[in-house]
């Protein structure tokens, strides 16, 4: 709820809003969209933002100079990712009994001019229309990683303190809304988050020293990403507090993962998560994501509760409660197992692994460890860049499998479900993967994908932008060496529709996890 809101500013902004709606109307109307901290005016091909004269515990826009500083920061910071969208900050001056945008005179307020996003271009709209696909999600993950990489590290000694501070701030904010959430429920959630943060304190501090703390976007959810000409554009970053936006990079990603997860888009969230980790090579940080996602959901809960109190909307209150439930659920453990998706090139291993990963384990789903991706990581090239044959020598293969096994073991020990995506044609390779599960005392489920040579040749010939370097020559070479379904593995024919193959593989894994032979 706003605090210390000056009556004069409040009255002045009411008059200013009326002026803006009349002045900006180009004959086709001017749409006003209000949030708890700003009013946005959409007219023609422009969007104009006015910061509201409000003061919250975490932001202060109560005076014109403070609102100007916030808008100028918003312009500067958002030009990092959306330079064509953010145009200028303009003063609003008195003109007789009315106002004027720009010109001489003492400013009474300030406006941010932006290029308007085309209708239905927000990622929220794209997602609701079923428009998310592997290509778009991959580009989005790559863009977020590139943005984080360019941001540069803000090295600190104590990353755990930053997380404690956020949790404490959430506790204070939630405490204001105990009539909505219930005091005992709030205390349980905050206690659980604090205990989880303490378990990871050493890792959080190490990440801060290693440079994972950066000036991030800070507000990276679906409604702050646009899709323009099939390219994702990040905009509307958190501008009012460098402190709040200077966080662990995975805490930044966690907001978007949480937003996808709460909409039931778990497969899309998992694809984004796995791609980001693949390109960022941030395996150790994966264990922090359930906590980070829970913290993000908690923030949404108390922000919506504040909106419900301010605007007297029961819908905001119900949504706030849903976010609190999500924050609780995100901290719950999930199933832990090691699933291997093996098979010759062109059998569809990666498509199947990608499709089922979001259904298993705790949020944001299973970590998929793909040998093709790790081979490129060792070569220090992007996943889709082709490698010379020397990178496929027996020695290179052994190093790749060493890395896969090491990371699989680490992920399992920290409570994550793991899927290994690899050809696994050699018995010694399969034994090594199986042994990881045995040592971790978790179920091992081997799924062997099969398809006729003609099908595999056709699939490989059509590949583009894929991490696999296998071509038709490799497919024919593999076919010349007869391969049976490994003992103890489940055979899955992929000479069918992808949906059928995915359903069968998922059913195999689900049945194996619930089987009595895994008890204890």
Residue 78 has pLDDT above 90, yes or no: yes
Distance in angstroms (rounded) separating the CA atoms of residues 472 and 477: 9
What's the mean pLDDT in 228-255?
95
The architecture that CATH gives domain 338-518 is: 3-Layer(aba) Sandwich (3.40)
What's the mean pLDDT in 368-372?
98
Residue 314 has pLDDT above 80, yes or no: no
What's the mean pLDDT in 416-430?
97
Residue 386 has pLDDT above 90, yes or no: yes
Residue among 444, 162, 403 nearest 291 (CA): 162
Model confidence at 2, in pLDDT bands (50, 70, 90)? very low
Distance in angstroms (rounded) separating the CA atoms of residues 352 and 417: 16
- 230 versus 366: the higher-pLDDT residue is 366
Which pLDDT value is given to residue 97? 76
Three-state SS annotation for 15-31: HHHHHHHHHHCCCCCCE
**How far lies 403's CA from each of 234, 283, 417, in Å?**
33, 11, 17
Q: Which residue has the tokens 């990712």?
A: 81
Distance in angstroms (rounded) separating the CA atoms of residues 61 and 68: 9
Model confidence at 312, in pLDDT bands (50, 70, 90)? low
Residue 118 has pLDDT above 50, yes or no: yes
- 518 versus 188: the higher-pLDDT residue is 188
Which pLDDT value is given to residue 9? 64
Distance in angstroms (rounded) separating the CA atoms of residues 32 and 504: 49
What's the mean pLDDT in 426-441?
97
What's the mean pLDDT in 31-59?
91
Cβ–Cβ < 8 Å for 396, 402: no
Lowest-confidence pick of 94-108, 184-198, 276-290, 485-499: 94-108
Model confidence at 295, in pLDDT bands (50, 70, 90)? very high
Which pLDDT value is given to residue 8? 55
**CA-only gyration radius of the chain, Å:** 26
Cβ–Cβ < 8 Å for 481, 370: no
Residue 192 has pLDDT above 60, yes or no: yes
Residue 520 has pLDDT above 50, yes or no: no
Residue 157 has pLDDT above 50, yes or no: yes
Residue 470 has pLDDT above 90, yes or no: yes
- Mean pLDDT, the chain, whole residue set: 93
What's the mean pLDDT in 120-144?
97
Residue 28 has pLDDT above 90, yes or no: no
Neighbours of 220 (CB within 10 A): 24
Lowest-confidence pick of 19-28, 87-96, 111-120: 19-28
Give the ranges where 281-330 is alpha helix by DSSP (H): 289-311, 314-329
Residue 5 has pLDDT above 50, yes or no: no
**How far lies 180's CA from each of 298, 321, 327, 331, in Å?**
13, 8, 15, 21
What's the mean pLDDT in 457-466?
93
Neighbours of 33 (CB within 10 A): 11
Lowest-confidence pick of 19-28, 138-147, 324-333, 357-366: 19-28
Predicted TM-score (pTM) above 0.85: yes
Which pLDDT value is given to residue 7? 44
Residue among 337, 340, 350, 338 nearest 426 (CA): 340
Residue 4 has pLDDT above 60, yes or no: no
Which pLDDT value is given to residue 173? 93
User: How would you classify residue 145: left for phi > 0, otherwise alpha for psi between -120 and 50, otherwise beta?
Assistant: alpha
Share of the chain above pLDDT 70, in %: 96
| Fold topology of 123-329 | Aminoglycoside 3'-phosphotransferase; Chain: A, domain 2 (3.90.1200)
């Amino acid at each position: 709820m706003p605090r210390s809101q000056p009556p004069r500013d409040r009255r002045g902004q009411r008059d200013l809003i009326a002026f803006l709606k009349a002045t900006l109307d180009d004959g086709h109307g001017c749409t006003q969209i209000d949030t708890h901290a700003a009013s946005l005016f959409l007219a023609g091909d422009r969007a104009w933002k006015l910061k509201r004269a409000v003061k919250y515990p975490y932001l202060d826009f109560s005076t014109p100079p403070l609102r100007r500083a916030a808008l100028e920061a918003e312009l500067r910071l958002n030009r990092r990712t959306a330079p064509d969208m953010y145009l200028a900050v303009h003063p609003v001056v008195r003109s007789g009994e009315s106002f004027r945008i720009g010109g001489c005179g003492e400013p009474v307020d300030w406006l941010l001019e932006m290029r308007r996003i085309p209708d239905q271009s927000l990622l929220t709209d794209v997602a609701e229309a079923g428009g998310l696909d592997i290509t778009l999600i991959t580009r989005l993950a790559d863009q977020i990683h590139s943005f984080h990489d360019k941001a540069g590290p803000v090295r600190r000694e104590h990353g755990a303190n930053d997380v404690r501070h956020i949790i404490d701030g959430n506790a204070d904010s939630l405490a204001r809304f105990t009539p909505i959430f219930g005091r005992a429920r709030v205390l349980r959630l905050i206690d659980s988050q604090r205990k989880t943060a303490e378990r990871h304190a050493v890792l959080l501090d190490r990440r801060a020293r290693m440079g994972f703390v950066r000036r991030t976007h800070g507000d990276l959810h679906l409604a702050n990403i646009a899709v323009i000409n099939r390219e994702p554009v990040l905009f509307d970053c958190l501008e009012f507090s460098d402190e709040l936006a200077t966080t662990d990079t995975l805490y930044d990603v966690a907001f978007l993962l949480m937003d996808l997860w709460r909409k039931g888009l778990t497969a899309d969230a998992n694809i984004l998560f796995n791609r980001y980790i693949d390109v960022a090579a941030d395996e150790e940080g994966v264990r922090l994501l359930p906590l980070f996602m829970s913290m993000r959901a908690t923030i949404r809960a108390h922000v919506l509760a504040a909106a419900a109190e301010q605007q007297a909307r029961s819908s905001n209150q119900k949504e706030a409660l849903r976010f609190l439930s999500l924050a609780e659920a995100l901290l719950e453990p999930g199933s832990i197992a090691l699933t291997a998706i093996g098979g010759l090139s062109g059998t569809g291993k990666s498509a199947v692994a990608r499709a089922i990963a979001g259904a298993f384990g705790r949020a944001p789903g299973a970590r998929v460890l793909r040998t093709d991706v790790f081979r490129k990581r060792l070569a220090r090239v992007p996943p889709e860049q082709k490698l010379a044959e020397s990178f496929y020598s027996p020695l290179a293969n052994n190093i790749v499998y060493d890395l896969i096994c090491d990371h699989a073991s680490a992920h399992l020990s920290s409570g994550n479900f793991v899927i290994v995506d690899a050809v696994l044609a050699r018995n010694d390779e399969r034994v090594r993967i199986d042994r990881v599960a045995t040592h971790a005392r978790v179920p091992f489920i081997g799924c062997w994908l099969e398809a006729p040579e003609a099908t595999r040749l056709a699939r490989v010939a059509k590949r583009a932008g894929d991490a696999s370097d296998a071509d038709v020559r490799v497919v024919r070479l593999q076919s010349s060496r007869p391969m049976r379904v490994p003992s103890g593995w489940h055979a899955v024919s992929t000479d069918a529709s992808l949906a059928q193959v995915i359903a069968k593989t998922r059913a195999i894994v689900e049945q194996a996890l619930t089987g009595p032979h895994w008890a204890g």
